[in-house]
């Protein structure tokens, strides 16, 4: 469906070369085009949001994995070695 440029339509209306029926027809065509563009923009926006949500979810999983690994390593460093609670035994020196 082709439409004239809106400026030409307004000029023709001002000059009286456009009937009311023609103006309504052109207006409806322009409204239909606007709805089409709006639907395309919404789909594009939704696609971008979905892509970003997937990326955030992937990064969150990686962050959780790294955080858990770091926690495990920190706990290993904090835990005492098996003989740490025992007194030191000194061996007598031979002279």
Question: Is residue 38 a part of any domain in this protein?
Answer: yes
- The position carrying tokens 């563009």 is 37
Question: Is residue 33 a part of any domain in this protein?
Answer: yes
Answer for the pair 55, 48: CB distance below 8 angstroms, yes or no. Answer: no
Number of domain units in the chain: 1
Range of lowest pLDDT (15-24, 35-44, 45-54, 55-64): 15-24
Question: Is residue 17 a part of any domain in this protein?
Answer: yes
Question: Could you list the residue range(s) of the whole structural domain that residue 56 is in?
Answer: 6-75
Question: Is residue 35 a part of any domain in this protein?
Answer: yes
Answer for the pair 57, 63: CB distance below 8 angstroms, yes or no. Answer: no
Question: Is residue 90 a part of any domain in this protein?
Answer: no
Q: 3-class DSSP state for residue 76?
A: helix
Question: Is residue 85 a part of any domain in this protein?
Answer: no
pTM of the prediction? 0.54
Answer for the pair 9, 33: CB distance below 8 angstroms, yes or no. Answer: no
Rounded to the nearest 10°, the torsion over CA 47, 37, 39, 1 is: -130
Reported as a pLDDT band with limits 50, 70 and 90, residue 89 is low
Reported as a pLDDT band with limits 50, 70 and 90, residue 85 is low
């Amino acid at each position: 469906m082709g439409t004239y440029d809106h400026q030409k339509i307004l000029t023709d209306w001002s000059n009286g070369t456009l009937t009311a029926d023609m103006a309504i027809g052109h207006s409806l065509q322009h409204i239909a085009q606007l709805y089409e563009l709006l639907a395309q923009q919404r789909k594009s926006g939704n696609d971008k949001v979905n892509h970003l949500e997937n990326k955030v979810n992937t990064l969150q999983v990686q962050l959780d994995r790294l955080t858990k690994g770091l926690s495990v390593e920190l706990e290993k460093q904090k835990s005492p070695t098996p003989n740490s609670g025992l007194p030191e035994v000194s061996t007598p020196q031979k002279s």
